[in-house]
């Protein structure tokens, strides 16, 4: 990585850089890494709102936003500016401090989880060994924003939304955790970089194939964790107006919105990393593609593949929203507790048996 930059900058800058103490060098690199990831995530969030409205528009035989800028591409920025200049209203009977920090509590974990996500073979902010656990811990902390917003608002609708969300997230987190047990059994590591490495070598090596039931469980639980349709009972605009964020306006609402989309991007990326090989190329080893001009990038793993896979899952999020009716509450609980958890437990046992009898891609790790 440093070699790449070394060729880009003049030598005297390079000399100044080398004279700095290692701590300062490390801090500078890390801060730039964090800035890059944050800016990219926020830009993806901004344009995914545009993407969502276009996709849903097309599915409902409309055109979607097309007024602001060319093709309506300025729409996300127009929305952000509109939300920022709106008045912030704090209900007089609310718990002021919690009302104000609740949106932040839902946004911070969604962004902090990016610290351990590998974007390609060297770009990861913190290459820690317990990366998978870190991600699970942070996604489970995100629920506080929703619960506290619902409680601090001091409104019946908001409290109902918060209660629904809490029960739903606690239920689906267990299924999600069990699905990840399968992933770490297959990869033999909690480090997200190693999990991607274990899936290197083309489509046939992806965990999607041997762990298909766990992939389905993880993905649907992920949709439920983000409170998106068809699991959006926490908002449920036709029953409880807007649920936990019914009293939020202006910036508070904007931050909840940002947190929801940041969580969607995070879940899409995590699904891509755990089951679709992350930044690894699906066409690795297809050497004939290298001979065709303009297609050689297909066989090389990197950020572009992670981005393509993430976009695929984001599209599925929007597709769900456009086509599925909202789940009934008791059906959500039934699906989480009575179907997903047994499925994951059975598949972990199957996986253990396969590892023991040396069947499948992880045969080298078992026994």
In the complex, the smallest distance separating the C-beta of residue 189 from other proteins, rounded to whole angstroms, is 9
Instruction: Tell whether residue 141 is a contact of other proteins (CB under 8 A).
Output: yes
Instruction: Work out whether 129 is an interface residue with other proteins (CB under 8 A).
Output: yes
Q: Roughly what angle, to the nearest 10 degrees, separates helices 75-84 and 22-59? A: 110
Q: Taking CB under 8 A as the rule, does residue 167 contact other proteins?
A: yes
49 to 78, contacts with other proteins by CB under 8 A? none
Site string for other proteins, 4-43 (x = CB under 8 A): ----------------------------------------
Stretch that binds other proteins, among 59-67, 163-171, 250-258, 270-278 (CB under 8 A): 163-171
Q: Are 107 and 257 in contact (CB under 8 A)?
A: no
Chosen residue from 68, 83, 133, 322 binding other proteins by CB under 8 A? 133
Question: If residue 259 lies in a helix (H) or strand (E), which one and from where to where?
Answer: helix 250-275
Structural element, H or E, at residue 348: helix 341-356
Q: How far apart are CA 117 and CA 124, in angstroms?
A: 6
- Give the span between the Cα atoms of 186 and 313, in whole angstroms: 22
Rounded to the nearest whole angstrom, what is the least distance from the CB of residue 170 to other proteins in the complex? 6
Separation of alpha carbons 333 and 320, rounded Å: 19
Cα–Cα nearest to 168, from 216, 125, 223, 90:
223
Q: Cβ 44 to other proteins, closest distance in Å?
A: 25
Q: Counting contacts by CB under 8 A, is residue 99 touching other proteins?
A: no
C-alpha to C-alpha distance for 215 and 219, rounded to whole angstroms: 6
**Residue 74: CB minimum distance to other proteins, A:** 39
User: In the complex with other proteins, which residue's Cβ is closer, 129 or 363?
Assistant: 129
By CB under 8 A, which span of 82-90, 167-175, 315-323, 350-358 interacts with other proteins?
A: 167-175
């Amino acid at each position: 990585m440093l070699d790449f930059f070394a060729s880009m900058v003049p030598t005297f800058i390079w000399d100044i850089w080398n004279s700095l103490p290692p701590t300062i060098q490390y801090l500078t690199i890390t801060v730039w890494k964090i800035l890059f990831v944050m800016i990219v995530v926020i830009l993806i969030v901004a344009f995914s709102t545009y993407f969502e409205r276009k996709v849903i528009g097309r599915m409902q035989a409309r055109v979607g936003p097309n007024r602001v800028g060319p093709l309506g591409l300025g729409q996300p920025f127009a929305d952000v500016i509109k939300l920022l200049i709106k008045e912030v209203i704090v209900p007089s009977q609310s718990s002021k401090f919690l009302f104000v920090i609740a949106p932040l509590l839902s946004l911070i974990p969604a962004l902090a989880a990016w610290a351990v996500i590998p974007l390609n073979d060297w770009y990861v902010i913190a290459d820690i060994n317990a990366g998978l656990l870190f991600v699970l811990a942070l996604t489970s902390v995100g629920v506080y924003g929703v619960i506290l917003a619902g409680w601090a608002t001091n409104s019946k609708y908001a409290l109902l939304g918060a209660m629904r969300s809490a029960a739903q997230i606690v239920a689906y987190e267990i299924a999600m955790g069990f699905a990840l047990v399968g992933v770490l059994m297959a990869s033999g590591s909690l480090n997200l970089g190693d999990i991607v490495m274990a899936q290197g070598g083309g489509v046939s090596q992806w965990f999607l194939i041997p762990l298909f039931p766990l992939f389905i469980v993880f993905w649907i639980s992920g949709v439920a964790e983000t409170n998106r349709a068809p699991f959006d009972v926490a908002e449920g605009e036709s029953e409880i107006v807007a649920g936990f964020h019914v009293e939020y306006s202006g910036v508070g609402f904007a931050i909840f919105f940002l947190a929801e989309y940041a969580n969607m991007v995070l879940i899409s990326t995590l699904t891509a990393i755990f089951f679709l090989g992350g930044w690894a190329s699906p066409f690795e080893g297809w050497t004939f593609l290298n001979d065709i001009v303009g297609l050689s990038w297909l066989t090389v793993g990197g950020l572009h593949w992670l981005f393509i896979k993430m976009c695929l899952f984001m599209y599925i999020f929007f597709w769900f929203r456009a086509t599925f009716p909202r789940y009934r509450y008791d059906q959500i609980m039934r699906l989480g507790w009575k179907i997903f958890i047994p499925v994951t437990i059975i598949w972990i046992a199957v996986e253990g048996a396969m590892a023991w009898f040396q069947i499948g891609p992880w045969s080298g790790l078992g026994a």
